[in-house]
Amino acid sequence: MLFVLAFIALLSRSALSALGGYRGILLAALGTGLAAGVLILMAAPWIALTLQRWPATEPIAPFATAARRVLVGRVAFAIFGIALAIHFLAILAILLLGKSQGLVLPLGDAAVLFALMTAAAIVPISIGGWGLRELAVTALLQSHGFPPERALFFSVLFGLSLIVASLPGAIVWAVYVPAPATADRAVDERTPSDG
């Protein structure tokens, strides 16, 4: 969903979507990533069979099958719907943070900023995207006439709002202990009852 939203955001007529002349390259990269993801998802059963042939990759094979079952199965609409809602809430947060700082951001600009900030955050060279996200946002907004200190403050506020929004999940993750599976329960789950 992230790739889809970023692709749509870059297709918009937003002033920020030009991205310093790199818009075409980013659209090509996102389109290639989307096509590759769909092809890999559709080819997951054959990929799983190939992975099962070698002892070194055999433990990975169930993940390919499970990913396809989850993302193409009955719960796929719920998963994609929840992902879409979460990303729209992040775009709304960008709109509201911009408004609180006097930055008038149309929806298209907020979507482009969301795509840029999220892309910077998932690059695995920093913790949670800190630093890289601020650099990207400051460079983009500064090229459109925003003062660098306001752009930096905007990006830091967005990062802090993500931390605050993640706290309930972090607390549940720290406290939650799943019940251990017993042999009796595992057998009951595999065989239907006769009653």
**Nearest of 126, 119, 135 to residue 25 by alpha carbon:** 119
**According to the model, what pLDDT value does residue 183 have?**
54
The DSSP call for residue 123 is: S
Say if residues 91 and 161 touch (Cβ distance below 8 Å): no
To which residue do tokens 């993302």 refer?
A: 71
Q: What Rg value do the Cα atoms of the chain yield, rounded? A: 21
Mean pLDDT of the chain: 83
What are the structure tokens assigned to 65, written together? 């099958």
Highest mean pLDDT among 9-13, 144-148, 185-189: 144-148
Question: pLDDT band at 192, cuts 50/70/90?
Answer: low
**According to the model, what pLDDT value does residue 195 have?**
46
Cα(21)–Cα(24) distance, integer angstroms: 7
Cα(4)–Cα(153) distance, integer angstroms: 28
pLDDT tens for each residue of 128-144: 888 888 888 888 888 87
**According to the model, what pLDDT value does residue 182 have?**
66
pLDDT tens for each residue of 87-124: 999 899 999 998 888 887 888 888 888 888 888 888 88
**According to the model, what pLDDT value does residue 111 have?**
87
**According to the model, what pLDDT value does residue 119 have?**
80
**According to the model, what pLDDT value does residue 35 have?**
92
Cα(80)–Cα(77) distance, integer angstroms: 5
